[in-house]
Structures are given as C-alpha cells and as structure tokens.
C-alpha cells in the first residue's frame, strides 16, 4: 500500500480548499481524510486537531489575502489604490469563503503567532491605501478600522447571500468604493 506523502502544509491546503467548496461548517475531519485518500486518524500526524487545523487555515487565508491586496495596491495611490484593495479583498472572500470564514474569531496566542503575523500583513496592505489620503496621524487607526469594517462587512454579507433583493451587487460595491473615497477625503485635514 503506497504512502500518501502528506505533510502539514498539504493537509492545511486541502482543508482550505475543501472549506471553500463545502463551507467551513461542513468541513469535517472525515471528509478531509477522504479527499486526501487517507483514514481520519492519520490526519492527526500532521495537525493537532480541528482547532489547530482551523488556525492554520486562517493563517494561510490571511497570508494569501495580504499578498493579493498588497500586489493589487502596488503602484497605485488614492482612489485607485482604494478601489484595487477593496475589489481584490472582496474577490478573495467570494472565491475563498471557507478559508476566510476560518479567520473570524481566531485569537492569536501572541505576537509571533502566524495568524497574528499574517493579519498584520493584511492590515499593512490597507494602511498603505490610507497613505494616499491626508488622514491625520491620530486618525489613521480609526480610518483603518472603518475601512476594514466596510470591506469585511460587505464581503461577508455577500458571501452569506445577505443581499437578497434585485439591485446589482457589483454596482453597490462600486458605489461603496465611491462612498469610501469621498468619506476619506472629507475626513482629511482634521487637526490631530
């Protein structure tokens, strides 16, 4: 009987892919094992259990999102950068709803936790967008949280089919980008 040749990274990657396919709540150790051509207990040679698997999927997702948003923003500034970041982020969540869902509610164990590191990289990518606006030093954290809330809120609501009536969702997202751009510019030059 040939060996499957798994390692933690392969298990996590397959888990993330499967979560995207069937939805995080339906990601089960048995289903993942089947997908990998292995019996369930074998997975425990590579990951510590369901919670550990979830954390690793979360770190993977945050890292991928950070890469995607960072790449998309590079070379742009102001409204262009904002639009690129927002669209890329939403695209990532819609393409990978399962692994993104895994990021919600994970508590990093410390500053060196891969989840914390990747999360910080994603925030950095959004911070870069804000540099194109004259936000006062003291307001950058607020603006970052607000921008994150906007993108996270829209993307997760759409991924959960939360926008039910007929108006075109992509059009709404364009409107949102316009709204954010104008809102950020309206917040410029506020004294610290």
Partner DNA sequence: CAACCGAAGCTAACAAGATTAGCTTTTGGC
Partner DNA sequence: GCCAAAAGCTAATCTTGTTAGCTTCGGTTG
Binding site for a second copy (CB under 8 A): 104-105, 107-108, 139, 141-143, 145-146, 148-154, 156-157, 160-165, 167, 169, 171-172, 175-176, 178-180, 182-187
| HEC profile of 135-180 | CCHHHHHHHHHHHHHHHHHHHHHHHCCCCCCCCCHHHHHHHHHHHH
Query: Which one of residues 38, 116, 117, 140 is an interface residue with DNA (CB under 7 A)?
Result: 38
Cβ pair 163, 169 in contact under 8 A: yes
In angstroms, give the least distance from the CB of 109 to a second copy.
Answer: 12
Cα separation of 79 and 130, whole Å? 10
Residue 165 contacts which entry, a second copy, DNA, none (Cβ below 5-8 A, type-dependent): a second copy
In angstroms, give the least distance from the CB of 34 to DNA.
Answer: 10
Residue range at the interface with DNA (CB under 7 A); choices 22-30, 61-69, 126-134, 169-177: 22-30
| Residue nearer to a second copy on the CB measure, 12 or 155 | 155
Query: Which one of residues 9, 34, 45, 141 is an interface residue with DNA (CB under 7 A)?
Result: 45
Cβ pair 88, 32 in contact under 8 A: no
Angle at 52 between CA 50 and CA 58, to 5 degrees: 100
Half-sphere exposure of 151 (CA within 13 A, CB side): 26
| The residue count for the chain | 192
Query: Which one of residues 23, 40, 182, 190 is an interface residue with DNA (CB under 7 A)?
Result: 40
In angstroms, give the least distance from the CB of 155 to a second copy.
Answer: 8
């Amino acid at each position: 009987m040939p060996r499957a040749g798994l390692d933690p990274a392969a298990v996590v990657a397959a888990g993330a892919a499967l979560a995207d396919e069937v939805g995080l709540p339906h990601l089960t150790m048995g289903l993942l094992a089947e997908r990998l051509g292995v019996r369930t207990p074998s997975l425990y040679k590579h990951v510590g259990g369901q919670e550990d698997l979830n954390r690793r999927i979360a770190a993977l997702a945050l890292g991928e999102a950070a890469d995607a948003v960072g790449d998309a923003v590079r070379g742009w500034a102001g409204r262009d950068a904002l639009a690129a970041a927002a669209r890329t982020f939403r695209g990532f969540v819609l393409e990978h709803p399962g692994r993104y869902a895994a990021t919600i509610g994970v508590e990093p164990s410390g500053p060196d936790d891969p989840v914390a590191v990747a999360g910080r990289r994603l925030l950095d990518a959004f911070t870069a967008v804000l540099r194109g606006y004259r936000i006062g030093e003291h307001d950058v954290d607020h603006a970052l949280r607000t921008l994150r809330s906007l993108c996270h809120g829209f993307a997760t609501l759409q991924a959960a089919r939360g926008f039910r009536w007929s108006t075109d969702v992509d059009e709404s997202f364009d409107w949102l980008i316009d709204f954010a751009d104008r809102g950020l510019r309206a917040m410029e030059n506020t004294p610290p």
